[in-house]
Structure 1
């Protein structure tokens, strides 16, 4: 049997590496074959992959790579590199990025407001389209005519146009990963 007819084997791969990623990270799967063979096919969840902006196939000598330049949640699954009778599979997990509160940097703030002044509590998030929950004294708040929950890009805002004594208390803005508290104190009547 000549070397060209020898069975194709997977000589090495990064199958055993951890393939848990955060959305946005680069993913690189590779395997090295014992000899050149054509075709080498890559599959995800049983379907042949399509090359595009989100998935690149590369070959360097006997090493074959599948690259996801910017992993997405939908990239989670099983990838297989198949070459002749040899194949290797990779189990990929892509998780949502953590949602951090970038601004304000303090995790606990105190705010003194003179009634009926406005109250504006603002948080900037690391993930612009992430959701938050607002709480007052431990209870989730709902929007009303005098309590607005606003989204401005990466900013989340709780806005009270005309405060009163009932608006005093602890407000919390909570993401899936972090929280920040605002201790709002309302004093006296504010006169123009």
Structure 2
């Protein structure tokens, strides 16, 4: 499996419970300057279950949790989990976050569910496009996760270098990944907690992989 650079976009897809969020959490724990957009409020669920909010990291030391964009300018940790309040769950606020990441540079944006910020293939915040098309030269990149590749903007897979594709039950979703990458292997289910991994620049077919946690 290839090293993932801070100037490379990553796409992770899979049905609920497949392991896609664990993959991002595991990998990104080792990177500096990561902003996680948690639109599903996974933070509250983990607190209720007394589980760590970011496995292997310490809240307050390695990362902080914020609920309002205005808090971004006052953070001191390298990582942030942004759980937007109800009144900040809008395309306008998401666009402001993406603009902040783009202008800050040297930052990885982890979007835990892409459909929360791009509810159809043609409607998404302008600065999401800026990150995908111009962010690499600024080391401002996106790790995008989704359950439904069929419903996301074309720019996401078109500009991603690394693909982690877990089980996708809908044939249309598998077909979109296969056509976007040019590899028919994605038509096949990789297996429970197993993913297809592809580095699109390597010119070799995807291989099955599994996290060793």
TM-score, structure 2 as length reference: 0.20
Q: Which has the higher helix share?
A: 2
Q: Which has the higher contact order (CA 8 A, sep 6+)?
A: 2
Q: Which has the higher strand share?
A: 1
